[in-house]
Amino acid sequence: MINKFKILAADTAIYGSFTILQRFLTFFLTPFYTNYLLQEDLGNVYYIYTILAFLNVLYSFGMENAFFRFFKENSPKNVFSTIFIFVISFAAILSTIIYFLSDVIFTDSDQLIRMMKYSALVLFFDAVTLIPFALLRMERKTKQFAGLKLLMVLIAVGLNVWLIVGNGMNGEAVFLAQAIASFIGILLIIHVIKNYFVFKIDKQLLKNLLIFGIPTVPAALSTLLLKTGDHFILPNMKSPEILAIYSTNYKLALPMMMFVTTFDYAFKPLYMNMYKDADSKDFFARVLTYFVLLCAAIFLLISIFMPYIVTLPFFGGKFINPIYWEGLQIIPLILGGYFFLGLFNYFAIGINITKNTKELPFAVGVAMVINIVGNILLIPKYSYIASAWLTILAYMISAFILFFKSKKYYPLDYDWKKISLIVIITIITYFVYTYLSLGLYFDFSVLIVWPILLILTGAISKNDTNNIKELIRKFTKRK
């Protein structure tokens, strides 16, 4: 059991360090954009990014999850080559269609046409590297994975600044920069492709891969509709400027999303490799308690201190341009939404292990319908505030449904007493500090008060603190 926690901590530390750097660099672009792009221009950037999120799901076609599930049960080169050939062939067809249809879809905006054409290249280049990067994760070559991904981010960020500030380009520079960075990514990982690729498709294996992977596509699309359906509806029912305000503040919840993503990156390959171990169920159940605890800490820190952070100086003005500050009220809601997304990812353990991916579409579908219908009905009156409330509600519904579905196939014995205490104490602490609102120095006391409350109520035991110290040590002192 200890070794498993150490493996998870080690992998999460590497992925976490990479994700922190990556997200920090991309997060740096948020204040940069608010100070150097027009609000309407930034709204168009977010709108195209929303489209790309959906298209990325179609490009992968569930093959990344299938790769993780079948890699250990078949010849690695056979699995890699079969999926790789399928993915890049499918991607080439889709990108060609998107490139030439851009002129038809966005007839009234030359800027959106150029953005979409650059995006078609980004989608294809990213599809080429999808399975090679998945291979690095599966083989736990975490340092190589993180290093290559980070280099791509550095290139993209540098090109963004150079094209916008140095060359005076507008929002289309965002996608041109990403296209160049994604192409360089192919060159960086081509050695992995050479080592595993054989020009052969195993038709029976491909059939099995598709049977496993295709059911995850509707679920992934539904999940995206939970996350970004409002990003489609807002600019059409309101304006690109409203989307810019909403999306900018949405991005300020980045630390929670970053942790949830990091955890999923490390945990999914781990449980796929360890689920047959005798003590695996006990290990998986204990992990949830620590996941909730870390999410609660992130929620408090960002909710309480983000209003101070946005006022800090930044080149071009404030860290976030003051015209976007009106949207700060949605940050706690988005943080809560990401927390439930993390629970959704976690509860997928039983679904993925037992190959019952057919359950995923329903788990998300109900919540997605509520989210979309709710946005259509409420946005005209309540604008993006309705979208934020519906975000947390929808994620919560999807997580609860998946919990009961997964429990049927792979029951785990969670420590609900500790989990409940952590959640209740965190919510009470947040509302007390928000209501009192006595200033920055008082708010810093939450760093002491909250942990003490957890210890006094038994939400954290001495054993838990030792495990947490071990996790922190792994994050801060890696060999």
Q: Residues 227-250: pLDDT tens digits?
A: 778 887 887 777 778 888 998 999
Which one of 165, 197, 213 terminates a domain? Answer: 213
Query: Does 275 score more than 80 pLDDT?
Result: no
Per-residue pLDDT of 153-187, as tens digits, reads 889 999 999 999 888 888 899 999 999 999 999 99
Domain contains 48? no
Confidence of residue 343 (pLDDT cuts 50, 70, 90): very high
Query: Does 467 score more than 60 pLDDT?
Result: yes
Q: Are residues 223 and 207 in the same domain?
A: no
Q: Are residues 376 and 259 in the same domain?
A: yes
Tell me the range of 76-80, 238-242, 290-294 where mean pLDDT is highest.
Answer: 290-294
- 399, burial (CB in 10 Å: exposed 0-12, middle 13-18, buried 19+): buried
- Find the domain containing 390 and state its range: 1-23+216-479
Domain contains 457? yes
Q: What pLDDT, on the 0 to 100 scale, is given for residue 15?
A: 57
Tell me the range of 4-8, 312-316, 327-331 where mean pLDDT is highest.
Answer: 327-331
124: nearest Cα among 89, 83, 92: 92
Point out the least confidently predicted range of 6-20, 271-285, 297-311, 369-383: 6-20
- Total-model pTM: 0.73
Check if the beta carbon of residue 462 is closer than 8 Å to that of residue 437.
Answer: no
Q: How far apart are CA 356 and CA 351, in angstroms?
A: 5
Q: What pLDDT, on the 0 to 100 scale, is given for residue 374?
A: 92
Degrees to nearest 5, angle at CA 369 with 372 and 342: 90
Q: Is 353 left (phi over 0), alpha (psi -120 to 50) or beta?
A: alpha
Q: Across residues 292-311, what is the average pLDDT?
A: 92
Q: Are residues 454 and 474 in the same domain?
A: yes
Domain contains 252? yes
Q: Are residues 336 and 465 in the same domain?
A: yes
Count of domains observed in the chain: 2
Contacting residues for 328 by C-beta, under 8 A, at least 6 apart = 249, 252, 306, 307, 310
Other CB atoms within 10 A of residue 67 CB: 25
Q: What pLDDT, on the 0 to 100 scale, is given for residue 478?
A: 39
Check if the beta carbon of residue 309 is closer than 8 Å to that of residue 319.
Answer: yes
361: nearest Cα among 207, 261, 224: 224
Which one of 192, 213, 234 terminates a domain? Answer: 213
Query: Does 274 score more than 80 pLDDT?
Result: no
DSSP assigned state of 31: H
